[in-house]
Amino acid sequence: MSALAKPNYVAVYENALQSFNEIEDFMGEVAEMFTHLADALTSTPDKIDLAPGDTPDLEILSMTDHDWPSFARLASLLKQWRAARDTLLSVWALLSENERNSASPLPPFGAQDATRPLV
């Protein structure tokens, strides 16, 4: 292979897409956890036990303190998501039309229904 050979940008793109999807999947899990809590707070607040040190009981969802992301962790997660999205778009821009046709399509960025997260 020549030193001047073009890198396999489709493979680079597919790896970037996989990384992006992993981050987005985790964000969906966090969003789902928040949704369950919000639903429980509005529909059955008497059934919620969030006593310090205990495992919170939300009937559907059992969480411990380490499951709850801090604001710093959420900010870091959003920064990771934005960086992964930007990388994905940058690599997509390097693909030729033929390479784009053979690669997985770009994902939708964000939920289509703004009232519900993409999970």
The structure tokens 């939920």 sit at: 111
pLDDT digits (tens, 9 = 90+) for 33-70: 888 888 888 888 877 766 666 665 555 555 555 567 88
119 pLDDT higher than 50? no
113 pLDDT higher than 70? no
60-63 long-range contacts, Cβ below 8 Å, gap at least 24? 60/36, 61/33, 61/36, 61/37, 63/33
pLDDT digits (tens, 9 = 90+) for 61-70: 555 555 678 8
Closest CA to 103 of 18, 6, 11: 11
Question: In terms of pLDDT, which residue wins out, 83 or 25?
Answer: 83
28 pLDDT higher than 90? no
Question: Quick one: tokens of 81?
Answer: 């998501």
- Give domain limits for the chain: 17-102
Span 5-29, mean pLDDT? 92
